[in-house]
Chain A
Amino acid sequence: MTTAAQDAELLARVLGGDHDAFNVIMRNHEDRVFSVCLRIMGNREHALDATQETFLTAFRKAEQFKGDSAFGTWIYRIAVNTCYDQLRKQKRRRTDPLPEHLDPTDHAATEAIDSAGMRPDIQRALASIPDDFRAAVVLADIEGLGLPEVAEILGVPVGTVKSRVFRGRRLLAEVLGNQSS
């Protein structure tokens, strides 16, 4: 049975009241969702919050999943939108700034990035580019998704995804170049 078919069967069981099936869905997708959230949010704690919110939304909206796209695509879309939303909230609050707002000498920022378990230089560069570009390069270049799927997740045309990936890489290269010099 394919993953998509498994997901469809599990989702049908969830809608039928079988909550254990949702645990299986979570186990099947939680690492990938967490990975995307972590790359976008840049912080494990925030990524975990976004992952939790993603699965809550998926459960609550399960009956709206019509199978037009793969379940993985659908849940990625929820994850990216959840991350966008949480980033906006963080920016509004300004009490818990993202690494991109912090001075490079800020040790708290460095620790937050290090604790993400990622190469700090790359994560710092990722955090410095606009959210839209970051989501596009995370999905296309890190997660390795095809451009049509990224377009479906982000809800934009493929051409827009190409442009965002291209420009995102260019900005990343500038930041990485400056960091190394």
Chain B
Amino acid sequence: MRDHDLELIAALVEGRLEDETEARALLESSPELLAEYEAQRLAYEALRGLGPMTLSDTERARLHRDVWTELRSDTQAQPARRPWYYTWASVAAGLFVVVGLVTVLNQNLGGGDEGVFLAADQTTALLDAPTEEGAQSDAGGGDGAAPEITDDSGDGPTATTMAASESPPVAQLSAEAENLRQGEFAGDLEPYGEDATRSSAIEACVERANLNGYEVAALLTPSEDTAVSTTIAGDELDGSTTTTVAEVTEDRLAVAVPAGADPATAPVAFVDLTTCEVVYLDE
């Protein structure tokens, strides 16, 4: 059957033809097309014969009650949970201070064994101070460094920066965000592929990250190739300790953008699919 024939049959079934001569002649010429027409007509008339469906009064009342109950609970939303990287940022800040002090002490003491022992002794005592500093930064929330994704006001997520803003992941994720905008993204742009069962879990995760109004545009699998990694507190005495995002998240990052936004200029959020936290929001 040719597309033109099928189009003609559909138009005949739906009564869209002003002149049915050609279509009728076609049906007479082919039993196969006639059977197709009969099938289409049977289904079309059955469907068109269905009356409009309306809510009952009880259902209508329930709909309004449940919608507003849910929306009211939105306005009492919980404050955003502390993202996982806050902990790492605090640890990183602490260890950087330790490393700096150890280096200074080693230099002052001539770099011998005695210096190392002194540094080791200092470590425990010195760890607390920068950690507290990091904790204060977390709690303070007024220094501009703390990410805060809330949507209570309906204004969408605010600009977010990672606490360790100089660390490689920020630059890397920012680059990935730019790649997405430029259409050069290296990750998976068909986040659900053929497996529809994944979609709900990923979308739920993004929703839990308080990214209301955002939709998943892609998935990013951190790997050695993509080099999305963060150096956490390299201890220069024992060698650098590096933890990749893949190790931290164990899985993937969801890349989400506001639904319907212009892809070239939209903010891009990266959501850790293990913790359902926003790792980074690039505006």
Interface on A for B, CB 8 Å cutoff?
15, 19, 23, 26, 30-31, 34-35, 38-39, 44, 48, 51-52, 55-56, 59-66, 85, 88-89, 92, 116-119, 122, 125, 137, 141-142, 144, 162, 165-166, 168-170, 172-174, 176-177
Contacts and interface: CB of A to CB of B under 8 A. Distances in A.
Given A38-B53, A122-B47, A85 B40 contact: no
A120 to B, nearest CB: 12
A23 B199 CA distance: 31
Interface stretch (B82-90, B111-119, B161-169, B258-266): B258-266
5 contacts: A26-B63, A38-B53, A64-B261, A125-B46, A169-B43
Interface of B: 6-7, 10, 36, 38-40, 42-44, 46-50, 52-55, 59-60, 62-64, 66-67, 70-71, 74, 151, 154, 156, 196-197, 199-200, 203, 212-213, 258-261
A179 to B, nearest CB: 11
A27 B212 CA distance: 24
Contacts of A89: 200
Given A30-B63, A142-B48, A60 B199 contact: no
B71 A174 contact: no
A117 B50 contact: no
Contacts of A144: 48
Contacts, number: 122
B260 A166 contact: no
A169 B44 contact: yes
Given A19-B71, A55-B67, A88-B196, 16 more contacts: A23-B64, A26-B63, A34-B53, A35-B52, A48-B55, A48-B63, A56-B67, A56-B70, A64-B258, A64-B260, A89-B200, A119-B46, A141-B43, A142-B48, A142-B50, A166-B40
B53 A118 contact: yes
Contacts of A34: 53-55, 59, 63
A162 B10 contact: yes
Contacts of B261: 64
Nearest to B262: A66
B259 A64 contact: yes
A39 B51 CA distance: 11
Contacts of A61: 212-213, 259
A141 B48 contact: yes
A26 B67 contact: yes
A142 B258 contact: no
A44 B44 contact: no
Nearest to B155: A63
Contacts of B213: 60-61, 63-64
A31 B10 CA distance: 29
A7 B66 CA distance: 22
B111 to A, nearest CB: 60
- Which 9 residue pairs across A and B have the least CB separation, nearest first? A173-B39, A169-B43, A141-B47, A172-B43, A35-B53, A173-B43, A173-B42, A31-B54, A64-B260
Contacts of B66: 52
Contacts of B46: 119, 122, 125, 172, 176
Q: Which of B36, B42, B200 has the most CB of A within 10 A?
A: B42
Nearest to A66: B260
Residue from A31, A64, A162 with most neighbouring chain B CB atoms (10 Å): A64
A137 B42 contact: no
A19 to B, nearest CB: 8
A170 B54 contact: no
B74 A60 contact: yes
A164 to B, nearest CB: 12
Nearest to A165: B10
A61 B212 CA distance: 8
B247 to A, nearest CB: 29
A178 to B, nearest CB: 12
Given A30-B60, A35-B53, A60-B213, A137 B47 contact: yes
A47 B231 CA distance: 50
B216 to A, nearest CB: 13
B39 A48 contact: no
Contact of A170 (B43, B63, B196, B200): B43
B71 A56 contact: yes
